[in-house]
Amino acid sequence: MRTLLVTGGAGFIGSNFIHYWLKNHPLDKVINLDALTYAGNLENLETVEHLANYRFVRGDICDQEFVSGLFDNEHIDTVVNFAAESHVDRSILGPEAFVQTNVQGTLSLLEAARKAWSGDSSSCLFLHVSTDEVYGSLEPDDPAFTELTPYAPNSPYSASKASSDHLVRAWFHTYGLPVLTTNCSNNYGPYQFPEKLIPLVILNALDGKPIPIYGDGLNVRDWLYVEDHCSGIEAVLEKGEQGQVYNIGGGNEWHNIDIVHLICDSLDELQPGDLPCRELIRFIKDRPGHDRRYAIDSGKIRRQLGWKPEYNFRTGIKHTVQWYLENRDWCQRVRSGDYHSYYRKQYD
Ligand code: NAD
Ligand code: DAU
């Protein structure tokens, strides 16, 4: 039995992970520490909040004293660190929060874990969830990112994640903290905040609003269904070697424009409107410093830990579109608050 501290558990991947973990490890205890920024939503966890082995705590990972108190009171032996500012466009509009949460916050968690586990850390694990964006951008014919690809972050977001990865590595080598790092490609699925490409396209299309595509639409991302990311993290927690890095990805590269077409066609099939959705597509000014291509080589986790993704992309997208169609109230609620002022700043 483990006691997990899941940070950022009210966000997109964190909430999917908590559902996944409680379903597959019903004897473990999960403490969800989340500051509930614009991206955190407790509605994502309504179906587990009654469970005796789940507890939500509102707090900031940067507050080290508070985090240390949690370690002491809850006897945490496993950390899964999802908490972060996660959206590249927001990092371009305002980088400070990214350095604060992603760098300072990770430092604060590492220090709290180091103090709490200083006596005996033999059954403890600190898993840091990171991104493929730390490796920079690939040319069309470059091989996919491996764990040995040098870091070359290009956005304030990826630079802050790269910094946090370096801290995690250093805490292993210097202090012997039992750390693991995962670098994953683009996720999609239920509960993703509609600032990210896939939910933004779905919701704009449903509202008959323009679908914004940056630049020529030929940037490439490597997409993974969120539950496959969760099972990858599980494999690393259960079988990973301390101090090691594992890339997680679907080997599923798509041009942005092709994904948008796929979503439009799914919507036309599931909920036909007056006009084909594709007519809403608009090419707009490119994202500054827009990375051209990401691709993950997940050979290491597949070979060494026996992980593989289960979801096929076309099925996963259809399932995701269906989820957004069935959860229009959730969509309405997450787009209240600051969403409209962010949207105007970014797209008008
Ligand atoms: P998200 O933005 O949906 O959720 C982030 C969560 O962290 C929110 O619940 C937010 O309230 C919380 N949070 C933010 N600042 C906090 C703070 N200071 N203290 C406590 N909680 C705080 O993000 P996501 O897409 O679920 O990503 C989760 C993690 O996975 C991030 O670390 C991200 O870098 C990484 N990642 C994301 C993807 C992706 O495609 N979304 C891919 C690879 C890696
Ligand atoms: O690669 C992993 C990363 O994937 C994660 O670390 C990040 O947290 C996550 O946000 C995601 O970053 P991206 O920038 O790749 O995702 P986003 O959904 O913002 O954009 C995907 C692609 O679509 C990218 O090439 C930019 C483009 N795009 C995005 C938006 C929001 C558009 O063309 N139009 C848009 O309106």
Which ligand has the minimum distance to the alpha carbon of residue 5? Answer: 1
pTM above 0.95, yes or no: yes
Topology (CATH level 3) of domain 3-188+225-250+291-310: Rossmann fold (3.40.50)
State the distance from the centre of ligand 1 to the C-alpha of 101, rounded, in angstroms: 10
Out of 6, 7, 13, mutate this one to test ligand 1's pocket (max ligand atoms within 8 Å of CB): namely 13
Is residue 30 pLDDT above 90, yes or no? yes
What pLDDT, in 10s, does the model give residues 308-340?
999 999 999 999 999 999 999 999 999 988 899
Catalytic residue among 20, 54, 135, 157: 157
**Structure confidence at residue 273 (pLDDT):** 87
Residue 100 CA: nearest ligand 1 atom is 18
Average pLDDT over residues 231-256: 98
Structure tokens at 342: 């962010």
157 assigned to active site: yes
215-239 tens-digit pLDDT: 999 999 999 999 999 999 999 999 9
Domain boundaries, the chain: 3-188+225-250+291-310
Q: Examine the residue annotation and report whether 133 is marked as an active-site residue of this protein.
A: yes
